[in-house]
Amino acid sequence: MCCYDLHSHSTASDGTLAPAALVEKACAAGVNVLALTDHDTLDGFAAASVAVAGRDLCLIPGVEISVSWRAMTIHVLGLSVDPGNRELLEGLRGLQEFRDWRAREIGERLAKKGIPGALEGADRFRKGSILGRTHFAHFLVAEGYAASVGEVFKRFLVKGKPGYVRGEWASLEQALGWIRGAGGLAVIAHPARYRLTRSKLRDLIGEFREAGGVGLEVVSGSHSRDQTLHMAAVSREHRLLASCGSDYHGPENTWVELGRLREMPAGCTPIWEADAWPATAGT
């Protein structure tokens, strides 16, 4: 049996392990097929693929695209994308520009609430081109404004809190266009996290499929057992391929481990059994 982990982050976005260290960790954890899926960037892939040379690990180039859908932020994974695809890279560059604008905005809003220097502070935790809320969280924890990253989000960075800025990300159609144009498979990441009503989830999946999406992340490091079973049923009902990924961000989050995932529930069609799955990647 092959061990798949199709959702992970490196320092190219908001993970804490460099791509090469992530690859090493995946090998040590017994992962056979790893997708590197940094937020809105493919920058980590080159270093990760160098690190994979000579190892018994299949590395899948991926990306986790931030999407705005009905005033919400939804994450869509592009698996097995061509990391050199021009339109994809240009699309991601637009999202990175929005991130930079948003970061300045977050910095100003926090300053008004008596927290100076947050933009520069967050930037010190950034190791790649992506500046995200996690970097702000690391800064606020380091400065003693909160005890944990989770607490920072709750108190400062989510809707209704002082450092919250509404996302203006890609549309579902744009994200799916980029992913498909780059030869990738589109998967809705951690679907239970959005707390959608049944009918909204149905609408999202309808639009996602219409735009060419094929997969649902049934097994996720952020899904409970019940959520996994629910999403398994949803994937069967809507004939979506089932994906699995830890959403690993680094060893600091001790409750999520690379490759350590719940079993794929029975009756789902794993995405690696799809015809479009890259032939070299496991099975």
5 part of the interface to Mn ion, by CB under 5 A: no
CB-count burial class (<10 Å; 0-12, 13-18, 19+) for 216? buried
Give whole-number Cα distances, 276 to 2, 38, 41, 180, 186, in Å.
18, 22, 23, 11, 11
In one-letter notation, the amino acid at residue 160 is G
Could you say which of 153, 178, 208, 272 contacts ligand AMP (CB under 6 A)? Answer: 153
| Letter string b/e over residues 150-183, b meaning 16 or more CB atoms within 10 A of that residue's CB | eebbeebbeeeeebbbebebbebebbbbbbbbbe
Residue nearer to ligand AMP on the CB measure, 45 or 153:
153
- Span from 117-125, 163-171, 186-194, 265-273 in contact with Mn ion (CB under 5 A): 186-194
249 part of the interface to ligand AMP, by CB under 6 A: yes
Could you say which of 75, 102, 126, 180 contacts Mn ion (CB under 5 A)? Answer: 75
Could you say which of 14, 40, 43, 217 contacts Mn ion (CB under 5 A)? Answer: 14
Could you say which of 11, 41, 66, 220 contacts ligand AMP (CB under 6 A)? Answer: 66
Edge-first strand order for the sheet with 241-245 is: 4-5, 33-36, 58-69, 72-79, 185-188, 215-220, 241-245
- Span from 148-156, 175-183, 256-264, 272-280 in contact with ligand AMP (CB under 6 A): 148-156
The whole-angstrom separation of Cα 5 and Cα 33 is 6
- Partner residues linked to 241 by β-bridges: 215
Closest CB 53 distance from Mn ion, rounded Å: 25
7 part of the interface to ligand AMP, by CB under 6 A: no
Could you say which of 5, 7, 14, 261 contacts ligand AMP (CB under 6 A)? Answer: 14
Residue nearer to Mn ion on the CB measure, 75 or 99:
75
Closest CB 14 distance from Mn ion, rounded Å: 4
Could you say which of 7, 25, 39, 138 contacts ligand AMP (CB under 6 A)? Answer: 39
Closest CB 263 distance from ligand AMP, rounded Å: 24
68 part of the interface to ligand AMP, by CB under 6 A: no
> Scanning residues 163 to 182, which ones bind ligand AMP (CB under 6 A)?
none
Nearest to 185 by CA among 77, 282, 36: 77
Q: Which residues contact 84 (CB under 8 A, 6 or more apart)?
A: none
Cβ atoms within 10 Å, residue 56: 9
First CA to last CA across the chain, in angstroms?
Answer: 8
Could you say which of 19, 44, 61, 132 contacts ligand AMP (CB under 6 A)? Answer: 132
Give whole-number Cα distances, 114 to 107, 145, 245, in Å.
11, 11, 38
Query: To which residue do tokens 């049996």 refer?
Result: 1
Site residues for Mn ion per CB under 5 A? 14, 64, 75, 189, 247
Binding-site ranges for ligand AMP (CB under 6 A): 14, 39, 66, 132-134, 149-150, 153, 249
